[in-house]
Structure formats: C-alpha cells, structure tokens
Structure 1
C-alpha cells in the first residue's frame, strides 16, 4: 500500500492532500485519464459542478474496481476546474467523497488547476489520477 505523509520541513498542506506519496516496491502504477461527469450511457450527470464532480468520483471508483483497486490505492489526483465560479461546487462534492474515501485523512497527493475551459463547454470539472496496485 502506498504511503502518504507531510514532512515538517515546510508548512502543512493548504487543502485535502498529502505533500508526498510513495509507491512501494512490488507495485505498479496505472494512470487514469482525465474523467468527466458523464453517466454510463454517455450523457452528462447534470449542468451543475457538484453533480459532475460526484459523477467523476463515481466513475473513478468504478474504474478502480475494474482493476481490483480501491480509492485508498490512489497516489495522485489532478483536478481541473473550469473557472473560479466552479470551485464551490467542486469542493462540496470532493469533501463529501473524501469523507467516505479517506475518513482517517490519509489523502493522496493532489493538484488543482483553475482553467479557462475544458474539452467541451458543458464540462465543469475533469480529474485524472495515478493508482498503485500490487504486481
């Protein structure tokens, strides 16, 4: 299992992430492409940021299960949010999911970028990740 920690040589994280995550020997890394808030049939989960973000995390969980992994196996996430106005809905949904996925507060490394736009105008959030699973 990957190890996450925050060294005391710099300030604590300003959000829900760890400064370091380490993939131990005997594990392989799998990269998850940027996921958007689409339902299994391909339609968008909703026009609002929170609905899209919840669906993204649901899609990631399904992808993880398909390779025998769980959210605790995620070592790095990168989130892209289309504009500052989308941050509130993103944080609300992310915090709800993280409360379930990481109740002990052992968060993966994470970066968040506020961008001008995503691949399609109706998309508000995109999240990609790296998972580590035993070989």
Structure 2
C-alpha cells in the first residue's frame, strides 16, 4: 500500500505492508536496497505475476526517466528498476506493463510499441 508523506506533496510516498488477516498496517516501509524510503512518482500501470507474489508498478516522474517498482509481497522487499527510456509525458501516461506468458519478461509498451523489456529474474533491462 502507498502511504503519502504529506498532504501537500502527493508525489512523495512510502510503500507499506498491510496484514489482511489481522487488519493492521505493518511497521516500517518496504524499501529497495540502496534507495531512499521515500519514493517519488505517479503510478501509471501495474502487472501482477500469476502467483501474486510479485507486483510490478510503472511510475512516471516529472523529472527523470520512468522506473518500475518490483514488489515481493511475500518476503516484503522491493527492487527499483530504472528504465533507459526518455519518455514524454504523453508517452509515459499511455504506457502499459504486461508480463510474458511464461512470466520471465516484463514488457513496457507505449503507443503500441515495446519501449523496454525487463528480465523478471535478474531485474535487468534487456
């Protein structure tokens, strides 16, 4: 779940876990190694692995390139994947994520074209 840090800055947020069985927010933020606990960007598209364990969200930033936040919902850890794609606002907002049939590739499509492919095992952009 996303938790905004401030009512004045809706771009800044942290990712938190929620215990559905006990109906409470888990302590601490889920942070990718080497990243700040506060993330910045607008969610554009999401894809979820068939198992439900991995959730991938594409984020658009007003400055900088888009990135994917890969969240392991079981182990509560994340990986941030910076995309080498200098998207315009229109391209970023029209982008969609899709997993391959085998789930080992995550495709980023914009305006009908694949603009990036990510290996879901190594998190490398191919």
- How high is the TM-score relative to the length of structure 2? 0.29
> Relative CO higher for 1 or 2, CA cutoff 8 Å, sep ≥ 6?
1
- How high is the TM-score relative to the length of structure 1? 0.27
If each structure's helix is expressed as a fraction of its own residues, which one has the higher value? 1
If each structure's strand is expressed as a fraction of its own residues, which one has the higher value? 2
